[in-house]
Structure 1
Amino acid sequence: MTKVALAFSGGLDTTVCVPLLKEEYGHDEVLAVTVDVGQPEAEFAEARETADALGLDIHVVDATEAFASLCFDSVRANATYQGYPLGTALARPVIAEAILEVAEAENCDAIAHGCTGKGTTNSASRPSGAAPTWK
């Protein structure tokens, strides 16, 4: 029996991932993991509602302090990209680490996400070796 931790928002992309992970990749169980980095409560309600409709267990991880600390250092350094703060880019490693911690605690065999590869999620914005280590 294999279990995968899915970075889960409850939106279209991550909802579609659930049957794909089971049917195409052969995972027996999908564990939804939503990470709170300060987004509106309505987003968590949507994630919980969608996970419930799909019959998934969901973990909502509070990473607001870790994210705020990282943002504070970034603001102090005046770190921007084309004049914009790096909020989304800074959130990614915080989210990845939180999902990894849940995956390890829940004895998951894999981690998955629903990023489409558009915008700042393209490979050019992912430096080699930046991902957390997995088993």
Structure 2
Amino acid sequence: DPWNAPDKPEYIEIEFEKGIPVSLNGEYMDGVSLIAKLNEVAGKQGVGRIDMIEDRLVGFKSREVYECPATVVLLQAHQALETMTLSKDILTTKPNLSLQYAELTYVGYWYSPLRTALDAFFDSIQKHVTGVVKVRLYKGNAVVVGLKAEKSLYVDDIATYSTNDSFDHEAAKGFTTIWGLPVQTWKSVHSEKSMDIKELKVVGADK
């Protein structure tokens, strides 16, 4: 119980290789051993209790209580590492596919062709999710406080928006103009002051 957890936080480090957790606090171990150890460490800090209303396959709702310290910590650590190593478009696409994957597993469709296809996607995007994540465990909370990645897409000298940035700030002016054109066009067309009816001439229509 978080109320009975120690009054002092505990810091741990989890290493991932291609998206798979391989070590805890520098000690390499197999997946089963790592989860068992992390359950013990995070559980002691009150992490991992989930009390929720769940929708069953047949449609009715049930209250479920889970105790899964290792799962909660690993998910948060892994997602944090992904923010550093995956591109924006992949990060916005992955959550929907993750939900589909979980649903297939939940309803017993593990051997479906869709699950196999999703495996190919996840295996592909995890190739560079390698690094170390530092997590603070305290009173039921697991908070990522440090990240190190071999293939980090975060580059300080282009991400600070300061005068020391390595990219040409003048280039932003043209981009801003082009980026805003769709909104400017919409406003112009729908403005009360713009009542002119415009005709779009179709090429070849006069033949």
- On whether the aligned pair clears a TM of 0.5, the verdict is no
Give the alignment's TM-score, normalised by structure 2.
Answer: 0.21
The structure with more radius of gyration: 2
Higher relative contact order by CA 8 Å / sep ≥ 6: 1 or 2? 1
